[in-house]
Amino acid sequence: MKTAIGSNAWRSLMEYRERTASTTIADLFAKDANRFRDFSFEHQGLLLDISKNRIDRAVRDWLVKVAQTADVESARDAMFSGKRINTTEDRQVLHVALRDRSRITDINVAKDISDTMKRLASFTKSIRDGSLKGAKGHPFSNIINIGIGGSHLGPMLVTRALAPGVGPNVHFAANIDGHDLDTILTQSNPETTLILISSKSFTTPETLANAKSAASWLTNSLGPEALSKHFVAITSKPEAAKAFGIKQAHIFPIWDWVGGRFSLWSAVGLPAALATSWESYSEMLDGAHEMDYHFQNTPLEKNLPVILALVGIWNINFENLEALALIPYDQRLTNLPAFIQQLDMESNGKRVSFAGDPITEATSPVVFGLTGTNAQHTFHQWLHQGSRRIATEFIGIARPSHNMPDHHDELVANLLAQSEALAIGTSGDKDPHRFCPGNRPNTTIFLETLSPKLLGMLLALYEHKIFVQGVIWGINSFDQFGVELGKHLATNIIPHTKNLEGFDGKFNPSTAGLLNLYRTWRALPK
């Protein structure tokens, strides 16, 4: 795997950045009346505007050379062809196949996907039309999805973005904190509740703990025989699901070649399909495939995922911006920042290359965000006048689904105002407390509407952006070994939260002290 870091293109770009360090975003607009036209890109109702970044034509051209040096096109083609590009785990990366069953060369993979999609479609329709019933003969009007990470964030995002309010009510339980699940169960009727366990390994501690508690809640009310009718498993370990008490007809696969944070397009997306309809969910898959096709077949200089990735490379590695604020100006996208946060930071939060060598440049930024005007009244003060510059990505929707047009006009006006204020700042204000320096880079993504297709395109855009950045940095975006250490340590500590015997020398003194304090306070009467 090639890396662009330290290449001739990389060094040339760094030298050019040093020569033009004093040029501001305002200067770039003053010099070029056609800047928006030349630095914005549209594809089937999705517009990407990078004109408010400190990038000129020379930077753009050098960035494309950086991508060419990293051989992004070959890496892209290797992923789509099914090569084992996840080298540290010796796995294919084929989440894109879930969105394009027609061109899969592996016959076995294609058949597995086709069969599963047919089962998911049939199951979704049987829940939504009420023909599949629970142990007491009632249709399911309440869904609880139990998962965490990729088995939680993606389905929750899509459900809350697209659910029209005419399907079953879908809840999401992820946190092992009992307050999360207990609140949901208290509000639910076991006779009308379907429970989905989404865990690739079927060993995820948080998910299993919640699943066992939900099973006890259900069987205490309806009897042990009800579990097989009210529980569904989405997993790569069907035997473990069967041992839990889930029948074969209610077990849907996750394949080895689907990473957790890229699994929305698999059976992991079932709660979103149940909430929105199978047709809506399929349209989202079609939208993601449309972006896949664009990514595969468009020259680098006009390729939306590549362009978005290169802007990020410029801001992170050449402008030294450590964080990325993601701000959707649409309440339906409340969960988008958390979804992209996991997608980016778990994929590219790495410090070594494919070869295991230390990486000399920064990789994934700190990703955070909030919706629209809520963000303005939370952290925009820091964005505008803080001592550190960071990058921002705004997401806007042109046509809302509500009937309050004046609200939407004001919302979009706020998005545009914040974008301009960050880029241009204030001029002539002699009061240092009121002065905003501007020159804060930001990107705007506009969707014509928040349709299932365009949402699919948006999410695939970010998936491919992150992949391209990983290729340029020379890292594997598809493993996540750093997640495992904390899980391992927790397994060692859990017995000692209840065991009153000593544990001196087993843990760090701080951990031991906190554990002793916890056990003392935990034992106090309520």
CA angle 442/445/446 to nearest 5° reads 135
Catalytic residue among 118, 212, 302, 487: 487
Annotated active-site residue 133? The verdict is: no
CB atoms within 10 A of CB 166: 9
Tokens of 125: 């329709």
Instruction: Check: CB of residue 301 under 8 Å from CB of residue 60.
Output: yes
What 3-state DSSP class applies to 59? helix
Catalytic residue among 111, 212, 302, 377: 377
Instruction: Check: CB of residue 304 under 8 Å from CB of residue 48.
Output: yes
In sequence order, the 6+-apart residues with CB closer than 8 A to the CB of 94 are 82, 104, 109, 255, 257, 258
What 3-state DSSP class applies to 422? helix
Annotated active-site residue 290? The verdict is: no
Tokens of 350: 């790495």
Catalytic residue among 206, 283, 290, 346: 346
| HEC assignment per residue over 235-299 | ECCHHHHHHHCCCHHHEEECCCCCCHHHHHHCHHHHHHHHHHCHHHHHHHHHHHHHHHHHHHHCC
Annotated active-site residue 433? The verdict is: no
CA dihedral 400, 339, 111, 288 (to 10 degrees): 40
Give Cα separations from 332 to 107, 337, 402, 463 (angstroms): 38, 12, 11, 20
Q: Which residues of 58-91 are buried (b: 16+ CB within 10 A; e: fewer)?
A: ebbebbbbbbebbbbbebbebbbebeebbeeeeb
d(CA 378, CA 442): 18
d(CA 309, CA 469): 6
Which residues are identified as catalytic?
346, 377, 487
